[in-house]
Structure 1
């Protein structure tokens, strides 16, 4: 999917941006920006799109998104309903790779830091003690002034660069396609699919949404996402099914049809292909982990 360029604003006396957001739902358009993004999700659940990866996100996830890597966080449907209490919250830092000067990353002491920012172009999920350190330091940054902010950011990135508690998110072969002319077309496909993935979506219909012929649409979508539209649709359905399995309020048969699958056999087969587990095994594993 082609993303659109998002302009990240910084204050007149700031070299990079850090803020605390409390919103109804996170920004839900497929986008990219030259700034590197470090995000701590304080409250919120939904689907996370980073490069060619689709996964669920949850409270206390910490993600490092590299420069110009397309991404979005699509909150669950409940966040789009009118509610006085349900809000998504996050702390987020945006900074350009060269904000501390062109030669900074070339210093021999910063070799691992430079390597980290290169790896971040695939997106990095941060876990364990490293995640807790980052969360605490980001909280301090919100109150810090002047050069203290830069010192704290450098400490955060230094800790991440030394950590082994990291997981790359996008595939090694993912590369961005940043043509602006396709932005509205792809976002229309994305918006329609999110609104209708529980229903049967024909190739003819989704091609009409994008104003492309069915044969051209298949090739176009695969070129820009490195996956077929069918796989993309299945990923969305599996992601939604994962949420329902975790909530444990419906039977597996009900979850199958609520997630857009047309029969239980196909649901089991597709879910295992994308997650490596059957729906029941996934649910049992989550319930066991949550009870620890």
Structure 2
């Protein structure tokens, strides 16, 4: 099923939005949005779908979901049954990466926050050692006004940034319709790969495009992106394959060609190495995204 783009409304007097959901069917669909999402399940349980990660969620869980990352929380059936008497209580914050201004994250003191916002593109499960403090701060934000809201959200992001035990969820980056906007050499390389990942891309091509020697390119790419260009290209291809499999509009063979894999055996092997599942095991999943 194709993920739906949601427009998040933020009041003009605020730089980010916060809401409290006490019913289980708010945005009960496979969706994504431009804003980063921080969600705290004060009460509720079910199945969590973030990118290609599928796992249970329960009361007390906190998750940070990056911009344009498809996600969906399917509450257990008991929460839809009046006879069961179960209620949900969820606090959700939506904010843009530059909610404190374009230059703020580039300050040296914000290095860890910048890093976790980058990692949130795969989703981050906040671990128990940090979650108790964050729960209290999210409750405070809900009842705060003015600059206090900004200070509390910044404090939360700092806590997550210092949490070395935070777990990323989606095993691969789901290819976004957005791309890096600046014109730096590494941004141009990044966008070139996103535009041409479905074709054969060689090291010589990339080095020539970037006007960098072949001998220097691999080191240059890894220094700026954090992984080798081969690993990045594979992440993009497998991430797009996951996205197309979840949408369910193509068969596995079509998806293999669409994502730039020329060899059947290589596709299945690399897909399973990154996701833990074969492409065929992915195919049945779209049925769980049918909304109520």
Normalised by the shorter chain, which TM-score bucket?
A: 0.5 to 0.7
Identify the residue that residue 175 of structure 2 maps to in structure 1: 176
CA shift, 1:175, in A, is 2.2
In structure 2, list runs of 5 or more residues that go unmatched: 179-244, 260-270
Q: In the TM superposition, what whole-angstrom CA distance separates every residue of 1:147-206 from its partner, at most 9, and x where no partner exists?
A: 0000000111011101123011011x3323559xxxxxxxxxxxxxxxxxxxxxxxxxxx
8 Å contact 1:25–1:88 — kept in the other structure?
no
8 Å contact 1:26–1:73 — kept in the other structure?
no
Identify the residue that residue 119 of structure 1 maps to in structure 2: 119
8 Å contact 2:121–2:173 — kept in the other structure?
no
Q: Choose from 228, 237, 244 the match for 2:279.
A: 228
Distance 2:283 2:173 in 1: 15
1:43–1:25 Cα change, 3 Å: farther
Identify the residue that residue 87 of structure 1 maps to in structure 2: 87
1:220–1:152 Cα change, 3 Å: farther
CA shift, 1:56, in A, is 0.7
Identify the residue that residue 37 of structure 2 maps to in structure 1: 37
CA shift, 1:81, in A, is 3.2
CA shift, 1:113, in A, is 0.9
Identify the residue that residue 101 of structure 2 maps to in structure 1: 101
CA shift, 1:9, in A, is 1.1
Give matches, 1:1-292, under 5 Å.
2-83=2-83, 85-171=85-171, 173-178=172-177, 216-219=250-253, 228-233=279-284
CA shift, 1:80, in A, is 3.0
Distance 2:128 2:66 in 1: 21
Distance 1:83 1:14 in 2: 39
Number of equivalenced pairs: 204
Q: What is the root-mean-square deviation of aligned Cα atoms in Å?
A: 2.9
Distance 2:101 2:170 in 1: 28
Give the secondary structure class of the aligned counterpart of 2:135.
helix
In structure 1, list runs of 5 or more residues that go unmatched: 180-206, 238-292
Q: TM-score, normalised by structure 1?
A: 0.63
1:234–1:31 Cα change, 3 Å: closer
Distance 2:29 2:280 in 1: 18
8 Å contact 1:26–1:75 — kept in the other structure?
no
Distance 1:63 1:71 in 2: 11
CA shift, 1:21, in A, is 1.1
Q: TM-score, normalised by structure 2?
A: 0.63
8 Å contact 1:49–1:72 — kept in the other structure?
yes
Give the secondary structure class of the aligned counterpart of 1:174.
coil
1:84–1:77 Cα change, 3 Å: closer
Give the secondary structure class of the aligned counterpart of 1:23.
coil
CA shift, 1:83, in A, is 4.6
Give the secondary structure class of the aligned counterpart of 2:89.
strand
Distance 2:30 2:177 in 1: 11
1:229–1:29 Cα change, 3 Å: farther
CA shift, 1:11, in A, is 1.6
8 Å contact 1:25–1:79 — kept in the other structure?
no
Give the secondary structure class of the aligned counterpart of 1:153.
helix
